[in-house]
């Protein structure tokens, strides 16, 4: 028996590292936990990320998708053949244009009727749909941490805020804290066991065929 935490969608806005273009990042994710309250265990998670450019024209906001990815956690009891236990995949967004519009309205306050969103077609985004990149457990909290590192803690930002390093270290400690019940789920425990049994962290350990 499992319990699914309410799905959360967050939007972050930052200046892209190499250009003056403002980038809006929408992250969507949920967690699937065992229902036992005494010892909850993460049994599954979903997370996707969308990168959007935005352009203001008077009261209107025009938003265009730049890229989209999702992060999968395989069911170790019934894994998909040849799929890494954790992997990232470039893909069309699992978050809809309507969901993006609602989130952007909360951050920009321009009104949903004034937000125009251009989502890429599946053919345009999925230029290589079969490439799955093995990763660690990348759930909602982990992906937000990665975005914090790459878009809010780069060298250009640290000069603006002397607390950047300290703040990011606090984020890392929160992510790794044992009180974070989704820090390491069942799939991560299985992957860790493969590492220990093989005495290495070779990419082969991500695939279910290695365990047979």
Banded model confidence at residue 127, pLDDT cuts 50, 70, 90: low
Burial label for 93, CB within 10 Å (0-12, 13-18, 19+), is buried
Dihedral of the CA atoms 33, 34, 36, 41 (nearest 10)? -70
Task: Report pLDDT digits (tens) over 23-45.
Answer: 889 898 999 988 776 778 888 89
- The three state secondary structure string of 38-63 is CCCCEEEEEEEEEEEEEEEECCEEEE
Mean pLDDT value across residues 102-106? 86
156 or 209, which is more confident? Answer: 209
Cα–Cα distances in Å, from 71 out to 17, 24, 38, 94, 192? 23, 19, 28, 11, 19
Q: Residue 176, SS3?
A: helix
- Which residues face 97 on adjacent strands? none
What is the C-alpha separation between 4 and 204, in angstroms, rounded?
30
pLDDT of residue 126: 55
Token code pair at residue 142:
């982990």
pLDDT of residue 15: 47
Q: What is the pLDDT of residue 200?
A: 95
Residue range 153-164: mean pLDDT, rounded? 67
What does DSSP say about strands 115-118 and 60-73: parallel, antiparallel, or unpaired?
parallel
Asked if residue 187 lies in contact with residue 207, where contact means CB atoms within 8 angstroms, the answer is no
* Contact status, residue 37 vs residue 65, Cβ threshold 8 Å: no
Residue the block writes with tokens 């799939």: 187
- The winner for highest mean pLDDT among 84-88, 165-169, 181-185 is 84-88
- Gyration radius of the chain over CA positions: 19
Q: What is the pLDDT of residues 39-71, one digit of tens each?
A: 788 888 989 998 988 888 888 888 888 888 999
Provide the percentage of residues in the chain whose pLDDT is more than 90: 36
Question: How far, in Å, CA of 29 to CA of 146, rounded?
Answer: 14
**Whole-angstrom Cα distance, residue 169 to residue 189?**
24
pLDDT given at position 17: 42
More confident residue, 157 or 36: 36
Q: Which of 19-28, 94-103, 116-125 has maximum average pLDDT? A: 94-103
The phi-psi region of residue 82 (left if phi > 0; otherwise alpha if psi is between -120 and 50; otherwise beta) is left
* 1 — pLDDT class (breaks 50, 70, 90): very low
Domain boundaries, the chain: 2-211
Backbone angles phi, psi at 2, to 5 degrees: -125, 160
């Amino acid at each position: 028996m499992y319990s699914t935490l309410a799905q959360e969608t967050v939007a972050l806005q930052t200046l892209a590292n190499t250009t003056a273009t403002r980038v809006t990042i929408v992250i969507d994710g949920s967690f699937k936990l065992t229902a036992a309250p005494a010892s909850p265990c993460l049994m599954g998670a979903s997370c996707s990320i969308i990168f959007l450019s935005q352009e203001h024209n008077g009261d209107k906001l025009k938003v265009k998708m730049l890229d989209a990815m999702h992060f999968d956690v395989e069911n170790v009891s019934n894994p998909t053949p040849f799929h890494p236990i954790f992997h990232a995949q470039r893909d069309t967004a699992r978050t809809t244009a309507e969901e993006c519009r609602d989130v952007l309205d909360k951050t920009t306050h321009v009104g949903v009727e004034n937000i125009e969103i251009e989502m890429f077609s599946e053919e345009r985004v999925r230029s290589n749909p079969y490439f799955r990149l093995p990763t660690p457990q990348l759930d909602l909290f982990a992906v937000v941490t990665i975005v914090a590192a790459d878009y809010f803690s780069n060298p250009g930002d640290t000069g603006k805020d002397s607390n950047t390093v300290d703040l990011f270290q606090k984020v890392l400690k929160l992510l790794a804290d044992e009180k974070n019940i989704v820090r390491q789920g069942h799939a991560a425990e299985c992957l860790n066991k493969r590492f220990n049994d093989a005495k290495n962290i070779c990419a082969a350990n991500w695939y279910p065929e290695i365990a047979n």
